[in-house]
Amino acid sequence: MPDFSLESEAYNRGISSVAGVDEAGRGPLAGPVVAAAVMFSPELTGIEPWLKCLDDSKKLTHAKRQRAVEIVHEHALAVGVGIVGPEGIDHMGIGQAAFEAMMRAVGQLKFEPGHLLLDFIHVRECSFSYETIVKGDSKSYSIAAASNVAKITRDQLMVEAEETYPGYEFSRHKGYPTKVHLENLQKLGPCPIHRRSFAPVGQSRMPFPNKVD
């Protein structure tokens, strides 16, 4: 289970505020990469009962993720979300796009953090004090909170995408390269939210011409 050890270490070094940052959507063939940044009060002890609902989003069911997000919005000092769409992913590459989404999420916080705890990602340059944490979403409450906000936000965007681009079953697989998605991609060709730089998309048929009104 995560805890506040990493946050506490930062506070003990004299840092006044910490944000946990994570992203969702590096692997899908379609849709954006979404990141979230979450700041909790330094006064939290780590024994608050509601913290038991926070964990790495990959370990939780959809219902538990939704509950975790409700708790985050209820108890966090600040929550920010950043999004980079398919065109940005194709232009920057998924690694840089994921980091850009993280920085956009930080930029949406109503308080500027003094330090960032990033779920592991390769960083070329960052204007904030930061550290990258391998499996950070299972170690830090702040990163775990961000992982759930990012995941739920992205999933909802993909559910909405199914209404705009029917036939791909985006609400079912959220853009990941499942058998169903690959079959529909070959049948219909890519739509505007597919990532053209990802091989299965580039190898499929001509682009889907228009949005569905």
Q: What is the pLDDT of residues 122-167, one digit of tens each?
A: 998 999 999 999 999 999 999 999 999 999 999 999 999 999 999 9
Report the run of H or E that residue 106 belongs to, with start and end: helix 94-107
For 5-163, CATH gives 3.30.420.10
> For 154-213, how does the pLDDT look when each residue is reduced to its tens digit (9 = 90+)?
999 999 999 999 999 999 999 999 999 999 999 999 999 999 999 889 876 555 444 433
- In the numeric block, which tokens belong to residue 172? 């079912």
- Helix 141-164 with 5-12: angle, nearest 10 deg: 120
Q: Which helix (H) or strand (E) holds 81?
A: strand 78-84
- Domain residue spans of the chain: 5-163, 165-202
